Chain A
Amino acid sequence: MATLKELSAKKELFTGGHRLCSGCGIPPIVRLILRSTDSPIVATTATGCLEVGSTIYPYTAWRIPWIHSAFENAAATISGVETAYRALRKRGRIPDRDMKFIAFGGDGGTYDIGIQALSGALERGHDFLYVCYDNGGYMNTGIQRSSATPMAAATTTSPAGDVIPGKQNWRKDLTKIVVAHDIPYAAQASPHNWADLSKKAEKALKVKGAAFMNVMSPCPLGWYTKPEDSMKLAKLSVDTCYWPLYEVENGVLRVTYKPKEKRPFEEWLKPQGRFKHVFKPENAHLIEESQKRIDLEWQRLLDLDGKRV
């Protein structure tokens, strides 16, 4: 794995000057992933914050060939690119070199509207990496709930009122769904742990076949948090075991980080405005229920650690 010094010496492929919010989790995720290979990269991005924030004409933050597809089909678009590349290489029409294909999508474009295209691409086994930056909502259209939104969070379509205290459903475990496709590599990561994230990206880009990374992406706008707290919150999501860091490599699961001291879930909730209402006495059960579920999921992962899944 590359050292921090080596990583920093690499050419920046996702440049500054983009329009993503200060404190947004997406840019560090994209920058680290693009640095994790020395091969040329083609990327596609689903409709969303990353697309809108990095490409408004006449500017672009991308120093690589880049395609915006529609909202639901980033994985299908990259499938076409990767297949065409293989066909052209086979016929000797383009130089025979190793190329990497990456699709980026937010949780709306991945968990919800894009899951059909993602599942299809994983099943067909295209040689590509899909990266989901999961900020837990449709932030680009003004903070609506997605199936990645944590339970009880207030969004503009799951508002917290006197009767209904925010989102009523537990978030979808997309990583688990992806793992069920039996692809060579799948992982969960977080940008605060750059070493873990780059190592996973390096592996994901090295394997032959489909790879997937689900990356926690703090969103000051949608979480109602301070921009300077984003990395702290990313760390807390991991230290509370809400967002466990793990990978599944050729069917074997490995928890890549085990917090020395598991923090209570409410420590992650407390600084976030979208959870303000759960600290009212009448909503105490929401924190308890979430904590139970997190404990259960964390234990499940620990039980599977080192095992074939």
Chain B
Amino acid sequence: MAERKKKLLQGNDACVEGALYAGCRFYAGYPITPSTEIAEGMSVRLPKLGGKFIQMEDEIASIAAAIGASLTGLKSLTATSGPGLSLKQECIGYACLTEVPLVIVNVMRGGPSTGYPTGPSQSDLMAAKWGAHGDHPAISLAPQSVQEILTETVRAFNLAERFRTPVMVLYDEIVGHMREPITLPLPGELEVIDRAKAACRPEEYFPYDDRYEVAPLAPFGAGYRFHVTGLNHKQDGFPTNDSNIIRANNERIMNKIENHKDEICLNEAIDLDDAEIAVVAIGSTARSARYAVKEARAAGIKAGLLRPITMWPFPDKAVKELGSRVKAIIVPELNLGQMVHEVERCSKKAQVTGIHRVDGEPITPAQILEAIRKHK
């Protein structure tokens, strides 16, 4: 068997590795700190693989180009941060409604506005879920390490292709810019999913065939002629005013995610079996939490960590279960209170408290340990 390659990589480089592994062959982007290394990496790597890198004139154009490319059948990626995410929001909603598979990487920096471009943050959690007008589905994955950025980027493409929807890879600047040794997966080692192919003849094809929950998406240019619009549409893609069809489609694009949460949600549980005090954290904050939990255990405190790797849909089930049996849940996050409200919503019994930091510095293990001790 071939030897796995070890490499010292930055988080954003690992994202490039993951995207290429998943079969991404199109990237459209725009420079913005702290995500620019993804564009730089793709500009070097994609042409060698017969793929295409385009630098566009802004973030709006970048996501629009990626949507266009995805419709031709290519797995497409765009990456951004902060203000760039704000600009992409209209097109995120468009991709949700038109059901175009797409991966968007958001390397979170301090906000709002230009904020703190070089400072870490986890303040786009709600923007990842709600950031576009109208009801729309959201899948966001939240890796905590360089290795996991690679594997979660692969999973993001898989989910995008499987559910015909945009998927966001969401990580803070610390994880994006840190360097760690990682192992590159061998071909075939990780699952790679491609979108369902149209099985029918072109004249029988509907891009939103109502016999399916997720209809196959034929590539533009392969003989399947169809209509794509951001207006509410019928199964043939053309706009409609039919209230029944509009309702059914709006519900279906939400339900195709909601009904498959078990397939999408992924958590890591550390020392939770007998825990009395739990920490729920993602990204770099989860790494501080892991250390704090270890220290607490060494001091005889029954602490544990639940780390959602899938941020959206939120792991309601896991948090509900946890909240029914622990005394307290601590939610450290690099924002002024976002995930803490989700945890509160899911855990009626346990006392939920947040630790929030927005000064551009990470939450330290000591801060989390202190909070754990308070609940002892």
A79 interface residue (CB < 8 Å to B): no
A115 interface residue (CB < 8 Å to B): yes
Task: Indicate if the CB atoms of A141 and B31 lie closer than 8 Å.
Answer: yes
Closest 5 CB pairs of A and B: A113-B58, A141-B31, A112-B57, A144-B31, A157-B43
Given contacts A47-B114, A72-B58, A115-B57, contact A142 B44 (CB under 8 A): no
Question: What are the interface flags for A241-268 relative to B under an 8 Å C-beta threshold, 1 for contact and 0 otherwise?
Answer: 0000000000000000000000000000
A290 interface residue (CB < 8 Å to B): no
Task: Indicate if the CB atoms of A113 and B30 lie closer than 8 Å.
Answer: yes
Shortest CB-to-CB span from A143 to chain B, Å, is: 9
B113 interface residue (CB < 8 Å to A): yes
A-B contact pairs, 6 of them (CB 8 A): A141-B36, A147-B57, A156-B40, A157-B39, A157-B43, A159-B44
B55 interface residue (CB < 8 Å to A): yes
Question: What are the interface flags for A54-77 relative to B under an 8 Å C-beta threshold, 1 for contact and 0 otherwise?
Answer: 000000000000001011100000
Give bound CA distance, A142 to B36, whole Å: 8
Question: In A216-251, which residues have CB < 8 Å from any B CB?
Answer: none
Task: Indicate if the CB atoms of B31 and A138 lie closer than 8 Å.
Answer: yes
Give bound CA distance, A159 to B53, whole Å: 11
Question: What are the interface flags for A161-205 relative to B under an 8 Å C-beta threshold, 1 for contact and 0 otherwise?
Answer: 101100000000000000000000000000000000000000000
The size class of the interface chain B forms with chain A is 10 to 19
Given contacts A68-B114, A71-B83, A142-B36, contact A157 B57 (CB under 8 A): no
B33 interface residue (CB < 8 Å to A): yes
Given A72-B58, A157-B31, 11 more pairs with CB closer than 8 A: A47-B114, A68-B114, A70-B114, A112-B58, A113-B57, A142-B40, A145-B55, A147-B57, A157-B40, A161-B47, A163-B47
Question: What are the interface flags for B50-86 relative to A under an 8 Å C-beta threshold, 1 for contact and 0 otherwise?
Answer: 0001010111000000000000000000000001000
A108 interface residue (CB < 8 Å to B): yes
Shortest CB-to-CB span from B88 to chain A, Å, is: 13
Chain A residues with CB under 8 Å of B113's CB are 70
Chain B residues with CB under 8 Å of A156's CB are 36, 40, 43
Shortest CB-to-CB span from B89 to chain A, Å, is: 14
Shortest CB-to-CB span from B109 to chain A, Å, is: 12
Given contacts A158-B43, A159-B44, A164-B47, contact A141 B57 (CB under 8 A): no
Give bound CA distance, A112 to B39, whole Å: 17
Task: Indicate if the CB atoms of B55 and A144 lie closer than 8 Å.
Answer: yes
Chain A residues with CB under 8 Å of B44's CB are 159, 161
Give bound CA distance, A68 to B57, whole Å: 21
Chain A residues with CB under 8 Å of B30's CB are 113
Shortest CB-to-CB span from A47 to chain B, Å, is: 6
Task: Indicate if the CB atoms of B31 and A142 lie closer than 8 Å.
Answer: yes
B228 interface residue (CB < 8 Å to A): no
Chain B residues with CB under 8 Å of A157's CB are 31, 39-40, 43, 53, 55
What residue in chain B is nearest A137 (Cβ atoms)? B31
Give bound CA distance, A142 to B41, whole Å: 13
Give bound CA distance, A163 to B45, whole Å: 12
B32 interface residue (CB < 8 Å to A): yes
Question: In A102-148, which residues have CB < 8 Å from any B CB?
Answer: 108, 112-113, 115, 138, 141-142, 144-145, 147
Give bound CA distance, A246 to B87, whole Å: 36
Q: Of residues B31, B55, B83, which shows the largest number of chain A Cβ atoms within 10 Å of its Cβ? A: B31
A144 contact from B39, B57, B83, Cβ within 8 A: B39
Chain B residues with CB under 8 Å of A113's CB are 30, 57-59
Chain B residues with CB under 8 Å of A138's CB are 31
Question: What are the interface flags for A80-106 relative to B under an 8 Å C-beta threshold, 1 for contact and 0 otherwise?
Answer: 000000000000000000000000000
Give bound CA distance, A183 to B53, whole Å: 36
Shortest CB-to-CB span from A58 to chain B, Å, is: 16
What residue in chain A is nearest B34 (Cβ atoms)? A141
Given contacts A70-B114, A113-B57, contact A141 B33 (CB under 8 A): yes
Q: Of residues A68, A112, A145, A161, which shows the largest number of chain B Cβ atoms within 10 Å of its Cβ? A: A112
Shortest CB-to-CB span from B160 to chain A, Å, is: 24
